Amino acid sequence: MITIAPCAENFYRCLIANGLSRVFANNSRESIVVDFSVLQNGAFWSVYGSGLRYVENVLEALASANPKMLKNFLSGTGGNFTLGLKDAKLSEIQKESLEYLFSNLKAGFENLIVIMPDEYSLNAAYLYEQSKTTLLPFMSDIVSARKAIDAVKKLEGADITPFELKLEREFHSDTLFLGNDLFQKREICGFSFDTQKQIFSPKFSYKDNSFDFTASLNKILQMYDKSSQKTRQAADADSRFFESGGIYKKLKDEIYAKLVEEMKQYAKETDAGVLRETAKNKINAILKDKEINLSKQVADKLIKELSDNVAGLGVLEDFINDESVTEIMVNGARDIYVEKAGKLSLTGVSFADERQLKTIIERIVSYTGRHIDEAEPIVDARLRDGSRVNAVIRPISLDGNILTIRKFSKNKMSADSLIDSGSISREMVEFLKLAVLLKKNIIISGGTGTGKTTLLNAVSSFIPEKERLVTIEDSAELQLKQKHTVRLESRPKSTEGTGEITIRRLVTNALRMRPDRIIVGECRSGEALDMIQAMNTGHEGSMSTVHANSPKDAVSRLVTMVLMSGMDLPERSIVNQIVSAINIIVQLSRFADGSRKISSISFLNPVDNEKQYEVIPVFEYRASAVKDGVQKGEFKAAGFIPDFVKEAQKRGIAADLEIFK
């Protein structure tokens, strides 16, 4: 920080401040001018260019601001960052407010240039103490020189740079500074009367050192940088000291323990932004109380990590915000895995201990209005952003607390994007589009993490806008674009064991809601019977997903789930209902390179013999070798053309299905 003492007239001090700001800018260094010399009616603020912000306005909002917000507020000052006084004098500002203002300014700006007022006060003393260099601009006359000498006496021990403003009057240094050797030890910077005229010339440039004024300003910056060198070296040493793993951890643990105590009063606060800002202020207060001065890099790291622990998901926060991460798996405090592009990898980061992991799990569960403890050690829930969460704690989990987060994709994948990613061919998309338009019932089958919900989202986009849809899910993940959509979500039992709303109950209720189609996110149990019956009783074009490794397995799984409904039906009757209801089975697979593809699209054809049905491939993915870590293969039509495609082709509806021509 550079302070400019009140030895010369305000106009010249404004010129110097503005000049320093311009020279900083020429060296790609950001700065801000804070003018405490005059109030809002001062005559010389036009020197800074258009735009000015008032200190009083900043102080009003400062309690809820941070350096970034303050910088954004100041950025509208015509290219230069400038602050000035509106009505209050420097001495009238509360010292605590002034300190907080300058701590924020220092955090937001590398260089501060402060024009000091004529009056000397405690606030002025504080600013002089904070500065690395004080400029004494003095005129070539006895009055100004005496002011400079008086300033030197007040600022004894400060790093002072004289700045001579040589006017037309002759300067007699021998007479004026007899007994004061400050000005003899340092080279005096300045500019002549002729140069003053040049400053206001259109040809003047702060980049041209041939001008005396510019050369003097650059000389001042060199002196300023030398005086700052020791401070910067100390900050660098501080940074190296606290970046040491053991020392940083010790500091972090010590502050975390104090922070947890101070944040207890905010236990009911649910706004993460408020919690983070509160935690940041508490951390800064703790550091200040302990008189620990950290470099910006270390302080930012400490604040982020501690804020993540008390207001976010701890070490998982970065993975939550990383769009390339699709799933997070925590196997105890030490092992954290993530999935990217279909592949799992160990992250190398960990929680401090099982207790910290348990705290994060409890925080996640509390977001959903649920509870987890030894009596209820398993929770399956959904975060606010739609991400699915499963948590298992001791004693059920023998090797530590387990947490799995399947992230909710904010960017819905369209059919075109699935084609671009190589998950499906364009002919397959056209076939599925035709099946949807002709109201064929579709089951999407696949293992865990193969992309069933993603494909269901894409396929559902083909449903006409005019139809009424009812979606039913355990955890809401579907992102249907149709306006006339009713979304239902199941609800688990409360801690008292009451209030459960099952998928099966929702399917039954959906039938009373006059749906054109019913979409069940996933069939897992007895709701399969109600879904099959709905498909058979006027709700054609419905869709769902099941966990199965092949189309035949999908039929077997549906049979098992119908039996789980408790209905005493013979298996043959169940199979007949399934085959009668379902038309298309889309099978998804995950391959060795982590890619997800549609391995087959099959037609479920009922037959009048002991087999009851046959699964006939319409499209298949024929995989070849893995080359350079990438699965090779091609999508092929299997040769079978379903009757509804033939009929559509006759009517001219399936013209895009070139492969069937």
Q: Where are the domains of the chain?
A: 2-232, 244-312, 324-406, 415-660
DSSP letter assigned to residue 32: E
Contact indicator for 93, 55 with CB cutoff of 8 Å: yes
Cis peptide upstream of residue 395 (ω within 30 degrees of 0): yes
**What's the pLDDT score for residue 177?**
43
Secondary-structure class of domain 324-406 per CATH = alpha beta
- The answer, as to whether pTM is greater than 0.75, is no
pLDDT, tens only, 549-586:
999 999 999 999 999 888 788 888 999 999 999 999 99
Q: How confident is the model at residue 62 (pLDDT cuts 50, 70, 90)?
A: low
CB proximity list for 138: less than 8 A, separation 6 or greater: 7, 8, 144, 145, 147, 148, 162, 163, 164, 165
Burial letters 626-647, b for 16+ CB under 10 A, else e: eeeeebebebebeeebbebbee
**What's the pLDDT score for residue 181?**
53
Secondary-structure class of domain 415-660 per CATH = alpha beta
Q: With 80 as the cut, is the pLDDT of residue 339 above it?
A: yes
Range among 33-47, 188-202, 232-246, 253-267 rated most confident: 253-267
Higher pLDDT: 488 or 626? It is: 488
Range among 180-194, 379-393, 519-533, 578-592 rated most confident: 578-592
**What's the pLDDT score for residue 187?**
56
**What's the pLDDT score for residue 173?**
44
Average the pLDDT over 311-317 and give the result: 87
Higher pLDDT: 218 or 233? It is: 218
Q: With 90 as the cut, is the pLDDT of residue 134 above it?
A: no
DSSP letter assigned to residue 484: S
**What's the pLDDT score for residue 443?**
95
Q: How confident is the model at residue 233 (pLDDT cuts 50, 70, 90)?
A: very low
Q: How confident is the model at residue 403 (pLDDT cuts 50, 70, 90)?
A: very high
The mean of the pLDDT values for the chain is: 81
Least confident of 143-152, 486-495, 529-538: 143-152
Partnered with residue 165 across adjacent β-strands are 139, 191
Taking residue 337's Cβ as centre, other Cβ atoms within 10 Å add up to 15
Higher pLDDT: 242 or 452? It is: 452
Of 589, 586, 588, 590, the residue nearest 603 (C-alpha): 586
**What's the pLDDT score for residue 57?**
82
The domain over range 2-232 is classified in CATH as 3.40.50.300: yes
Q: With 90 as the cut, is the pLDDT of residue 223 above it?
A: no
Rounded distance, CA 47 to CA 88, Å?
A: 21
Of 33, 14, 3, 38, the residue nearest 136 (C-alpha): 3
**What's the pLDDT score for residue 169?**
44
pLDDT, tens only, 160-197:
666 666 544 444 444 344 345 555 555 566 666 666 66
Contact indicator for 170, 140 with CB cutoff of 8 Å: yes
Structure tokens at 434: 């035709």
**What's the pLDDT score for residue 46?**
63
**What's the pLDDT score for residue 487?**
92
Q: What percentage of the chain exceeds 70 in pLDDT? A: 83
Shared fold status for 2-232 and 415-660: yes
Least confident of 223-237, 238-252, 269-283, 298-312: 223-237
Least confident of 166-170, 356-360, 446-450: 166-170
Average the pLDDT over 510-536 and give the result: 89
Average the pLDDT over 486-502 and give the result: 81
Q: With 80 as the cut, is the pLDDT of residue 522 above it?
A: yes
